[in-house]
Structure formats: C-alpha cells, structure tokens
Structure 1
Amino acid sequence: MRLLVTGGAGFIGSEFVRSLLLSPRTGDVRITVLDKLTYAGVAANLDPVAGHPRYSFVHGDICDADLVDQVMPGHDAVVHFAAESHVDRSISGGRPFVTTNVMGTQVLLEMAKKHRAGRFVHVSTDEVYGSIPSGSWTEETPLSPNSPYAATKAGSDLLALAHHRTHGLDVVVTRCSNNYGPYQFPEKMIPLFVTNLLDGGKVPLYGDGRNVREWLHVSDHCRGVELALRRGRAGSVYHIGGGTELTNAELTGLLLAATGSTWGSVERVPDRKGHDLRYSLDCDRAATELGYAPRVRFEQGLAETVAWYRDNRSWWEPLKRGTARPAGPPAPRAPDTRLPAAAPPGAR
C-alpha cells in the first residue's frame, strides 16, 4: 500500500509515519509525506525515518493544486492530518484556518477524485460538536462548533463526506479527543505547562479551571486512524477517544506533581472566548467495527510524556525561543513562530 500522508511532520502525523515505517507488522507500506513545514511542522520529527527505503518527503502546501496534482498519482490512499489546529491562534486570526483546513482539504479531495486514489481518511476533532454538559457525543450528533478552528474542521468534515455521497470517493472521517505525548508543539496545554515548569516558570490556567477534556495518547490515536484506514466503512465517521476525562485544574495538579512544582507556579488568566466547557466521545462504533480501544493508561502516558520533555530539551527549547529549530533538514522560515510570553493553555 502506498500512502500520501499530509501534515506528516506535525505532532500526530509524524507519530503515524514513524509507527507505520518502524513496525515490522505493517509490511510493505510506502509513505509519501506532504508538509508545508509551518511553525508546528518540525522536520526533525521525521529524523527517525530519514533514509528509510519506503519513505519520501515533499515540501509543499496542500492548497497548491498544481503540486498536489503532481504528487497524488500512484497513491492507494490519503491520510489527511494537515491542519491549522491551535484554537487561540484561530481566535486571533481565522483566515489561515479557513485557507488550510477548508480550501486545502477541498484541493486534496478534488485531486484524490481526479486520480482515483483509493481511501481518503480525513482526520478531525471532537471540537466540531461544541460542548456537552453530560453524556457523550455519538457520530450522529449534529455539529455545533464554537471556535473558528472548530468551524473550519466541521466544514472540512462535511466537504469530505459530500465527496463520498456525490462522487463516490471512499472517505472515512475520524474524530479524536485531546492528544498528548512526545513531539507535541509547546503551545498546547501539556507540553506548554511541562516545559514552563521544568524551567521554573509560571503556567497560565484559564478561568476557574473547570473545563473538561478527554485525553488520548497520540499512539492510541494513530492506531485508531490505521484501523479506520484498513477496516472502516466508506462514508462513515469514527470516534477515537482516550477515555480519561479531567478538568483543566485536575490536569494542572498532576503536571505540578510530576515536575515537583507547587500551585504558586499557576497564574489564573481570563477565560478564552467561546470556551467549550466539556468534550466527551462515545467510541462504541470504533470498538465494534474497528476493534479499537485505547491501550495507554493515562497515568503511564503522562509520566512518560513528562520524562520525554525533561530528556529532550534540544527539541523544544529552540521552538519556544523561536530563534532556531531542532536538528534536522532545513525548514523555511514561517511567520509568528514565537510563543507568547504567557501563552494560554490551548488544549487544541
């Protein structure tokens, strides 16, 4: 199987690429990564597979129709991770999110149809549903996004499913809960808090900290995406959740304990605009049809993640300074790579 993986230099996409190419169970899977290498696309994330005989890299933008037209032929499936994903950035300025998440997805769908690519796995988010006070969303729950980021992901979900219904494209959509793990860009809550605390700095906690998120280790997410690629029904949506719900305040307490810090390191900041209170996914369909269940216990995964950031300063320190990049192939300079001095805890 030859896969075109968009956004393969990002946090989740690179985990997917590494997990397939470095595992003997995946056989003769060949992967082409298409990535623009924006601020969160880190070339060094793919260093472990650099030189692999079944891996190739194309530096480019999914919005570039001519480039995608050249790259798409010969691939058996597309796994589409590429997206602008940081909620706070989307609130500050939504245009890049519309361009990449909606227009870029449309370009990929058009070219997948033109070149008769097989399966198109569109990787999305639980944020398209908005907020749920109790219970869990099913795949039939109406979409009700509240942030510009979530709205653009909802739009791209609908475009992908429309291409299945109108053009017969073999589309599968996955929607995940909040990811964590190694190689996550340090603007998201867990790596931001861990790296700040390791440096003896402060961490910003939104509002009263009661917002609830469901946490999913990135390796479990990528295994779920692979299951959807291999076993999913065309035209279906699958939830990939982690099963561990925590308030932001509870998670903050765990991160303080893991880094030997105290609540004196926490600064309360004004709540995010349109901040969703709670996310929760019903994953019965993925369990029944795909055989999916999370394997990484949150306590173990969080401890290993904190240890990874403690041991890999050479990866994250240049990213937080915005003055250099981790070791790896050179990447183009992208706008606004610096994190704000007190970046908010954007959990996606």
Structure 2
Amino acid sequence: MRIKPTLLVIPLLLLSLLLGSCGPKETPVPTVIPTLIPTIAPPATASVPLVILVAPAEMDPGQSNLYQTTVYELAQAAGYRFQVRNTLTAADLEPSLKIVVVLPPDPGIVALAAAAPQAQFLAVNIPGVVPAGNVNVIGSQNRPDLVGFLFGYISAMITTEYDYRIGMIIPQGDPNAQVAFAAFRNGMIYYCGLCPKTLYYFDIYGNALEYPQVVEIPTDEKVELYPAYGRLLKEKKVAMAYVFPSIATPDLVNAIGVEGIISIGDLTPNPRPIYWTASLQPDVAKAIQAAWPDLLAGRGGLTFNPPFALTDVDPAILTPGKQQLAEQVLTDLLAGRINIGLGQ
C-alpha cells in the first residue's frame, strides 16, 4: 500500500517539537539599564560688559531714536549689552558697567563717575562738566563765523535768479551776531564774487539797496513784536534771510515766510515755517562715534567737538545738486581749507 507524503510530514513535525521541548532552555539576556551621568555645569564666566545711554523721557523722539540707534549699534559691534535709562543713580552702577553716554540734564555725572572707576562716562552738551579722570565731554560748537559763511554761500546760490538779494536779521549789539553777518557777507562773495545785479533796487524811501542787507532788533524790544521786523526785510527787497538763533522765534520766522521770503537758520522752528530751507546743527551722533574707540580703550579726560551737518533740508529750495555743493563747502570749512576772511 502506498503512503501519501503528506502523512509522513506530520509525524516528523510532531517529533521535532517534542525533541525541542526537552532540550536545555536558553539563558535570558539581562536588560541593560543605562547609567545616568551627572551633568557638570560649565564654570561661570564674567558678565558681558554693559553700555548705558541716559536720555530724558521728554527728549524729542526723533533725536532720542537717533542717539539710541547710534549707541546700540556701537555696543552691538563691540559685543556689549545695551540699556537705555531716563536717569542714572548709584544703584545702576553694576561692576560690568563699561561705558555711559549721558544726555542733558546732568544726573550728577561727576559723582557717578567717581563711584564707577571701571567705566568711561561721556557727557553730551552738559553745562559745567569738564573732562577729567574717567569723564569725557562732547562740547557745544559755537561757530557764528562758520555758520554765517555757509549760510551766506547757500543764500547766494539759491537767489542767483533774484540778483543775490540776501540779508540777515540779528539782535542789536550782539558781538556773535556781528561776526556772523561779516562771515555771511564773505560767504556770499565766495560764491558769486561781485555778485552782479540785473536791476537796481531801492527801499520805500528811495535809497539804493546793496546786498547783503541787515535788520537789527533792539535788545529791549518785546518778543511779541519780533514778527514786525520781518516786514522790514520785505521793504529792503530781501529774497532770502538768515535769522540769527537768539531771536529766531517761531512767530518771527513764520512772519518772514508769510512775506514770501526764504529763510534759513541754526535750528528748525516747531512748527516748521513755510520757505524754511535748512538748518545747521552739530552732529552729536558722529561725535559719539568718533569718541567710541577711546571709550572702549578706557582713555578718559578727553573732549570731542562734533562736526556740523545740514538737517531738515527742503529739496524744493536747496536742490540735491546745490546741497552737494553746500556740503562740500562745509567739509572744506571744517577742514580749514577755506579762509572765512575775518582774521580769526
């Protein structure tokens, strides 16, 4: 009788299972439990040096943002921390403090600097603070000769089509104003030489007019009457005027603009009057940048004079090409390459 192959396979499978169950059992492999290695913290490092800018809360937002950006970028480039405070006290003088830039008013910078000898302090236009020890100073620029010369140059350049009919309005008897007017005249001559006119001009009394003209406000004049002197410029046929800063009230400068006269000055009035060309101010941000390497190096007792810069330029009056010429003259004046001609 023939046996089917399938019937033979089944007994063989059963026999192999029985033999396997009778053999020795495998030793189980123990589970490895990982050992926790304690984390060792790195040793503490010295605190990152700190830079503080002290700016009053009431400061003009545009100016405040400019100074904050300037000092922040310098601090970041040096790898320092940066903070802005509205005031500064002895409690803020932590050991890591490296540089302090202080804008007016004075928080007591001399005493604070003495309490933090590891830091360099930079006082910006703070009256009564002198450079000494770890106190450095950015001074205020008082250059009526330079400002007058540049404004005379700009005024002549803008009024070429108006026969260079330019002038100044100044406080009577002020020596700085007199210096500014003399320089204003020289700036005009520097631009146009003899400044030839196409017409002759006369005042309301029939007197021949030569330029630049000057209008003086008496020292005892009431401020509320200043705007009336803008009319005198009109009577003198002045097309553009430099208003000396000590008498440049918003009402006066606005009255000059209402008369159709272009104006220019040291500081832009608020609100800005019509026909205001530009202002010329010390560039404190550049002075801070110039002082920075010395502050980082720990050199104290230094004075830094800020350069001047044209600001609030009206491109419809002082066009970009003319502004470029004016800025080149300013650069040359600051470098001493132009003789203002006052024998100073």
TM-score w.r.t. length of structure 1: 0.33
Query: Greater CA radius of gyration, 1 or 2?
Result: 2
TM-score w.r.t. length of structure 2: 0.33
